[in-house]
Structure 1
Amino acid sequence: MRKLSYIVLGIIIGALSTYYFCPKQIGEDPVKIVKPNGLITPSEARALSANWTKTRKKAVDSAAGKVDDRSVLWSIDDIQNYLNYAKSQSDSLGYNMTAIRIYLGVYPEDINPNKKDYTTMFIAPIGEKIKDSNNQGTLKVNQEIIPVSPLNEGTGGQAGYPN
Structure 2
Amino acid sequence: MKKLGPLLLGLIIGALAMYFYCNQGEAEMKTAQEITKPKGVVTPTEMKALDQAYNIKHNIINDSLFRKSADGGDNRSSWWSIEDIQNYINYSENQAGELGYKMDGLRVYLGSYPAKPGEMSGLTTMFIVPTGTKNTSQGAVFALQPMSGDIPGGNGLNIGSQGYPPGSNYPQ
| Fold in common (TM above 0.5) | yes
State the distance in 2 between where 1:113 and 1:71 align. 22
1:88 paired to 2:99: no
- 1:32 is displaced (CA, Å) by 4.5
* The structure with more strand, counted as a fraction of residues: 1
- 1:123 is displaced (CA, Å) by 0.2
In structure 1, the partner of 2:57 is: 56
Count, aligned residues: 134
1:122 alignment partner, one of 111, 124, 127: 127
Superposed CA deviations along residues 44-83 of structure 1, whole A, max 9, x for unmatched, are 1111111212x11322312222221111111111111101
Distance of aligned partners of 1:97 and 1:131 in 2 relative to their CA distance in 1, 3 Å threshold: same
Is this contact kept in 2: 1:60–1:68, CA < 8 A?
no
Aligned-pair identity (%): 38
State the distance in 1 between where 2:89 and 2:140 align. 27
State the distance in 2 between where 1:36 and 1:81 align. 21
- 1:34 is displaced (CA, Å) by 1.6
In structure 2, the partner of 1:162 is: 171
2:112 alignment partner, one of 106, 114, 139: 106
**5+ unaligned residues in a row in structure 1: which ranges?**
1-18, 20-28
1:72 paired to 2:78: yes
In structure 1, the partner of 2:12 is: none
State the distance in 2 between where 1:121 and 1:108 align. 13
Kindly report the root-mean-square deviation, in angstroms, between the aligned alpha carbons of the 2 structures: 2.6
In structure 1, the partner of 2:25 is: none
| SS of corresponding position for 1:141 | coil
State the distance in 2 between where 1:52 and 1:128 align. 32
- 1:127 is displaced (CA, Å) by 0.7
TM-score, length of structure 2 as denominator length: 0.68
